[in-house]
Amino acid sequence: THCIQQELDLKSARDNNVAMQESHSLELQELNGKFNEEISQLKDETHNMQKSHVVELQGFNEKFAEEKTQLQDEAQTMRSDYENKLEDLTNNFNTRTEAAVSKYNNEIEELQTEHSTSMINLQGLLD
């Protein structure tokens, strides 16, 4: 009977061992399933974040391009305004200079005419 009891104990221990192995195997499968789900979820979240960042980056690039174009347009307008003002100043200077030269030449001519007339009168008096 002692041998039979040992065999029963041994069989019971084996059965318990098999049950524990099956239980551990099921737990391991469950953990692997959860792990794979989490990995899949993380991949999805990472992919969505990357798409979101790409869209955000495209938005920033578009805004940068718009601002760059706007600054270039403003610089061109300022350059054009500067060139127009410079042209106006140059024309104004040239006009004023020409007027002053013309006035000076007219005054010289008038003085020469007066001088010639005076000399003719003086010559007439002397004769």
Residues listed for the chain: 127
CB neighbour class for 1 (10 Å; exposed up to 12, middle 13-18, buried from 19): exposed
Strands (E), 4-103: none
State the Cα torsion 27-31-32-38 to the nearest 10°. 160
Q: Give pLDDT tens digits for 69-122.
A: 999 999 999 999 999 999 999 999 999 999 999 999 999 999 999 999 999 988
Tokens of 62: 């578009």
Question: What pLDDT, on a 0 to 100 scale, did the predictor assign at position 19?
Answer: 85
- List the alpha helices (DSSP H) in the chain: 2-126
Q: Give pLDDT tens digits for 7-48.
A: 888 888 888 888 888 888 889 999 999 999 999 999 999 999
C-alpha–C-alpha distance, residues 21 and 15, integer Å: 10
pLDDT grade for 6, boundaries at 50, 70 and 90 = confident
pTM above 0.85, yes or no: no
Across 54-81, average pLDDT? 97
